[in-house]
A and B are shown apart, each in its own frame.
Chain A
Amino acid sequence: MTTRLHMALAAALILGTAGAAAAADKPTDPQIAHIAYTAGALDVDMAKLAISKSKNKDVVDFANGMVRDHEAVNVQALDLVKKLKVTPEDNATSKALSEASAAEKAKLEKLDGAAFDKAYVANEVAYHKQVNGALETVLIPSAKNAELKSLLETGLKLFQGHEQHAEMVAAGLK
């Protein structure tokens, strides 16, 4: 169901950061900011799809929470890059995230009712898990600016919270 997203993100992270050139390929702060912002914005898009399609209150409530939280953290991210005079820089990981998310969205758009709810929530669990892995192993350790690192750490706690929340919603759908 979410294999494509996993593969694309894993590949991008491996190719972009831990591949042949290893340390030299660590993402820079402008790239990290772009990846983190993109990850949040994509989840907001997916949530808006769920709000328009789902009739399940738990699913809609969850999706509204995703919009609220990710928009809030992205406002903080934009404020920070402005303050640091950093211009977020597009990169292979951001592109892979966007492509994988577009493919997943196309699949979800074809589903309705309980099938949609299940697929959306399962994808949310997988997506947050994947982004958490990237934050923990690549983005946070690579971040040079202390304020960016701190925002990413709060972002990690937020994403971990969302992953657990999605798991709770998923359990309720069975």
Chain B
Amino acid sequence: MSTHRRLLPVVVLALGTGPLSAHAETITVTIEKMAFSPAEISASVGDTVQWVNKDTFAHTATVKGGWEVMLPVAKSGSVVLDKAGTLDYFCRFHPNMKGRITVSAP
């Protein structure tokens, strides 16, 4: 029983990160003058998207009904993409700032 409990997480971890982390990339999106740049990016499951806020305004990268990354002035934030699909995001403080991530299966 106790052996089981100890072993299980190890197996899950190995399966979960082994094949993905090998080629995982970090894609950087810069925020400057009230815009995400590039506004549209393509990525694979397991990749990380990092936003670097170069504005003097705080922003967010928010997926409606999904995650939200807070991006204070001169800070950066990131998410790891965990499934394939199209993610439209916006800044909750300035909803005219929009971006899109197209995530493909690994």
Contacts and interface: CB of A to CB of B under 8 A. Distances in A.
Nearest to B33: A154
A164 interface: yes
A168 interface: yes
Contact of B94 (A72, A76, A153, A158): A158
Contact of B93 (A75, A157, A165): A165
Contacts of B56: 72-73, 75-76
B55 to A, nearest CB: 8
Bin the interface of chain A by size: 10 to 19
Interface string A142-164: 00000000000110011011101
A16 interface: no
Given A164-B95, A165-B93, A68 B58 contact: yes
Contacts, number: 44
A158 B58 CA distance: 11
Interface string B2-44: 0000000000000000000000000000000111000000000
A154 B34 contact: yes
A157 B59 CA distance: 13
The DSSP consensus for interface residues of chain B is loop
A157 B95 contact: no
Interface in A38-86: 65, 68-69, 72-73, 75-76
B91 A161 contact: yes
A157 B92 CA distance: 14
B97 interface: yes
A68 B57 contact: yes
Nearest to B58: A68
Contacts of B73: 72
B30 to A, nearest CB: 15
Interface string B83-106: 000000001111111000000000
B95 A165 contact: yes
A162 B57 CA distance: 12
Contacts of B92: 165
Contacts of A157: 33-35, 94, 96-97
Interface of A: 65, 68-69, 72-73, 75-76, 153-154, 157-158, 160-162, 164-165, 168
Interface of B: 33-35, 56-58, 73, 91-97
The 4 closest A-B pairs by CB, nearest first: A161-B94, A157-B34, A164-B95, A72-B56
29 contacts: A65-B58, A65-B93, A68-B57, A69-B93, A72-B57, A72-B73, A76-B56, A153-B33, A154-B34, A157-B33, A157-B35, A157-B94, A157-B96, A157-B97, A158-B57, A160-B94, A160-B96, A161-B34, A161-B93, A161-B95, A161-B97, A162-B94, A164-B94, A164-B95, A164-B96, A165-B92, A165-B93, A165-B95, A168-B95
